Structure 1
Amino acid sequence: MKATIWHNPACGTSRKTLAILEETPGIELTVIEYLKTPYDAAKLRQLFADAGLAPRDALRLRGTDAAERGLPDAEADAIVAAMAANPAYVERPFVETDKGVRLCRPQDKVHEIL
């Protein structure tokens, strides 16, 4: 099974999710460090739709200035545009497999799509 993780090595939950994927037999893993290779708006929309999330649900507030910028109250398109411009606004990690997409917070959510 193919799996892609949008990973931040500085994030404990992202590291734990990556470890689960690496320890799962039969996984062909792609790791994207999204702070180095940012999302584009189309990919964000696809991930959110496939995960059943609104952009606001995936907005990272902790450690960012998203709240000060008014993003929690912004329209979906404005949130996606801000996330595409600054990937630190995206909560992590997202994982995509043939079985779906999950925002893996907590990391055990990854088992739903393995």
Structure 2
Amino acid sequence: MAPLNKKVQASSVLEVIISMLVIIIIFGIAMMIFSNVTNSSLSIKKSKAEALIKQQMLLLARSQHLADETLRADEFKLDVKVSAYSENKKLNEVSITAFDGNQQQVAVYKQIMINKDE
């Protein structure tokens, strides 16, 4: 059996407070890094969606017929909307909107094209 008059080593209140502050500071830095990483992944997703939209816009410019359609490209859904531009029947406004897997809008691109059907 251990003797009862033996002293036990313990931390002071000041040491505990300092260690808690160090842990809180490290946790705060880790949360800032996590936030920056998630924000940069969104900008990468947006850049990829914009590149797909521009590629689709080039394909539409070469095609002979413009029409509303929905396309799948990588992890994005591209909605193509074609409407008459102003009062001019020779011009069309083409709008392509990219949505991610959660149906959130990632990027939009609009362009005016000559109507080749006229």
TM-score of the alignment, normalized to the shorter chain, above 0.5? no
Scaled by the length of structure 2, the TM-score of the pair is 0.26
TM-score (normalizing by structure 1):
0.27
Relative contact order higher in (CA < 8 Å, ≥ 6 apart): 1
Q: Which has the higher strand share?
A: 2
